[in-house]
Amino acid sequence: MSAAQTGRWKARAAAIAAVLVTLTLPTVTATPASATTTAYDSTYYKNAIGKTGTSLKSSLHTIISSQSKISYDAVWNALKVTDQDPANSANVVLLYSGASRSKSLNGGDVGDWNREHVWAQSHGSFGTSAGPGTDLHHLRACDVQVNSTRGNKDWDTGGSPVSGASGSYTDSNSFEPRNADKGDVARMILYMAVRYEGDDAWADLEPNDSTTNGSVPFHGRLSVLKQWNEQDPPSAFEERRNDVIFNTYQGNRNPFIDHPEWVEAIW
C-alpha cells in the first residue's frame, strides 16, 4: 500500500469513528413537547404555521374566535357526547378522578356529576351566558363534591389528598389534578387565554404565576401549567374531544391539543 493509500484509509477510518461517536452519544437535553404536524396545518392553521410568540398568539386568536356558541343548558347534553367513556357509552369520564359515571346522573346532588369550569367563572366574572361560561373547550364533567372542593382555586402542586379524586391534591388556594389530567387542565387554561383577548363582550383572560387571583381575569400558575403540558401529552380522549367540539358544537379547535409545542412558542 502506498503512503497516499494509507493516508486515505486513515482518513476514512477517522470519519467512520466520528460517525460512531455521534451515534452513541446519549441525548442529554430535556426535550419540550415535540413539534407535531396535523391534518389541519394546511387548512385551519395555515395562517399560524411558522409563527411564534405574540404573532402566533394573535393569529391563533383570530382563527379560534370564529365559533358557534351554545347555551348553558345545552352544555349538559354536549358533555354527554364530548366526555363519553370510551369503554362504556352510557357513562361520562369525570375530570380530576377518572371515574366513570352514568350520563343520567347529571345534576346537583351528592353522587351526581355537573359542569366544571376549568377556567373558574369568577376569574373574569363571565357567568354562564353564552360565551366563556359555556365554552366546551374548558367545561368538563366532574363529581359535584369534587367540583365544590376545587372551587375557583388556581393551579399548583401540593396540599392534601382530595376526597373522591384519588391522585388530586388541594390546599387553601390551589388545586393539583391527578397526573392524567394535568396536561388537559393546562391546555384548557391556555386555550381560554388565547380565545378571550378582551375584544368582545368578555374580559381578556390571561395566565400568570399567582395562586391568589381571586376574581381578576387571570389564572395561575403559568410555570406549573407549562410543566403539566409537557408531562401529560394529549391523549386519545382529549383529541377525540377536540374533534367532537370542532365538528359538532363550536367549529373551533384547541390549538394546544393539536400542537402542544405552541405553549412554549407563546409562553
- Per CB under 5 A, residues contacting Ca ion are 180, 183-184, 193, 197, 204-206, 232, 235
CA 155 – CA 174 distance, rounded (Å):
5
CB of 225 to Ca ion, least distance (A): 13
- Length reported for the chain: 267
Q: Please, are residues 38 and 259 in contact by the beta-carbon 8 Å criterion?
A: yes
State the minimum distance, in angstroms, from the CB of residue 128 to Ca ion.
20
Residue 78 or 188 with smaller CB distance to Ca ion:
188
By C-beta, is 74 or 157 nearer to Ca ion? 157
Q: Pairing relation of β-strands 218-219 and 206-207?
A: parallel
* In the complex, least distance from residue 211 CB atom to Ca ion, rounded to whole angstroms: 19
CB of 67 to Ca ion, least distance (A): 15
Judged by CB, which is closer to Ca ion: 206, or 230?
A: 206
**What are the strands, taking DSSP E only, across 78-159?**
84-85, 88-93, 100-102, 113-117, 139-143, 154-155
CB nearer to Ca ion: give 164 or 207. Answer: 207
Backbone angles phi, psi at 204, to 5 degrees: -80, 105
Q: How far apart are CA 73 and CA 155, in angstroms?
A: 27
- To Ca ion, the closest distance from the beta carbon of 20 in angstroms equals 39
What is the per-residue DSSP string for 207-223? Answer: E-S-S--TTSSEE--HH
Which is nearer to Ca ion, 143 or 184 (by Cβ)? 184
